[in-house]
Amino acid sequence: MTTADLKVLLQDAIVATIDGGKEILDVYVNEFDVEYKEDNSPLTIADKRAHNAIMKTLEKTGVPVLSEEGRSIAFEERSKWPLLWVVDPLDGTKEFIKRNGEFTVNIALVKNGAPIMGVIYVPVEDTLYFGADGFGSRRLTEAAAKISKNTLEDTLNASDALPEKQKRVFTMVGSRSHMSDETAQYFEGIRKEYPDAEVMSRGSSLKICMVAEGSADVYPRFAPTMEWDTAAGHAIAKYAGFEVVRPDDNLPLEYNKEDLLNPWFIVKKG
């Protein structure tokens, strides 16, 4: 894939995340019903509307899509895809239902099992994170208005390179809704080296974004996640100079596996 090809797909992914975010916000500001899937995880009309909006753009690219809202595609078919989109139309549905603003739209481009592009949009904050091979990772504020008017070059020029240097104590970030005992133990181990270390809690893929932007130093995830929860953030972290690796062998997460469940992982400095 050429840089020009990747540039076109990056622009498509950015537009799709913004469009998905607009649909989510339209639901967020009104009353909405909550359904529950077979695994007892919540689902709202916002998930469905964001999925449909995103698909309108991504289907035009000719690249197949693996989405949380379309997870039933057989591995026999997916295994033939060297290149695919991995999409979570609404990451952090629990946070959406709580109305705390900590939810995102995630779109990643995966090539041969590795993420080569990631775009994450935070609708309530109107902040866009994106990273891609050859472009590094960047953050754009007040994104919706800027994206609707600008080309990718303008977006790149208006955005800030990640990570940013910040003066702070060693900071760990954990899940707001899924903190495990193993994660708590990991944090205690860190405090032996950094007694003043702080722990911050966030929902959705915002945790990976915090490491990528320089707001946190490490994010351990010792609880279940799916590929669409992490693929976009993985790319953004990677191209900001961080790694998303399994704690047992320090190897990076892989995508488009037969089992779409992720192993445990840690986001940290590469």
Is 91 annotated as contributing to ligand binding? Answer: yes
Assess whether 115 and 214 both reside in one domain: no
Instruction: With beta carbons less than 8 A apart as the criterion, state whether 18 and 24 touch.
Output: no
Is 181 annotated as contributing to ligand binding? Answer: no
Tell me, what's the pLDDT at 1?
A: 83
Record the tokens describing residue 24, joined without a space. 């989510």
pTM of this prediction exceeds 0.75: yes
Is 21 annotated as contributing to ligand binding? Answer: no
What CATH number is associated with residue 142? 3.30.540.10
Assess whether 154 and 44 both reside in one domain: yes
Is 68 annotated as contributing to ligand binding? Answer: yes
Instruction: With beta carbons less than 8 A apart as the criterion, state whether 35 and 69 touch.
Output: no
Supply the range of the domain harboring residue 15: 3-161
pLDDT in tens, 153-197: 999 999 999 999 999 999 999 987 667 889 989 999 999 999 999
Tell me, what's the pLDDT at 255?
A: 98
pLDDT in tens, 92-129: 998 999 999 999 999 999 999 999 999 999 999 999 99
- Residue 35: CA count within 13 A, CB half-sphere: 8
Is 92 annotated as contributing to ligand binding? Answer: yes
If one compares 177 and 23, the residue with the highest pLDDT of the two is: 23
If one compares 63 and 176, the residue with the highest pLDDT of the two is: 63
Assess whether 148 and 176 both reside in one domain: no
Is 174 annotated as contributing to ligand binding? Answer: no
Instruction: With beta carbons less than 8 A apart as the criterion, state whether 242 and 216 touch.
Output: no
Boundary-marking domain end, from 126, 161, 196: 161
Is 230 annotated as contributing to ligand binding? Answer: no
pLDDT > 90 in the chain, percent: 83
Tell me, what's the pLDDT at 178?
A: 66
Assess whether 260 and 197 both reside in one domain: yes
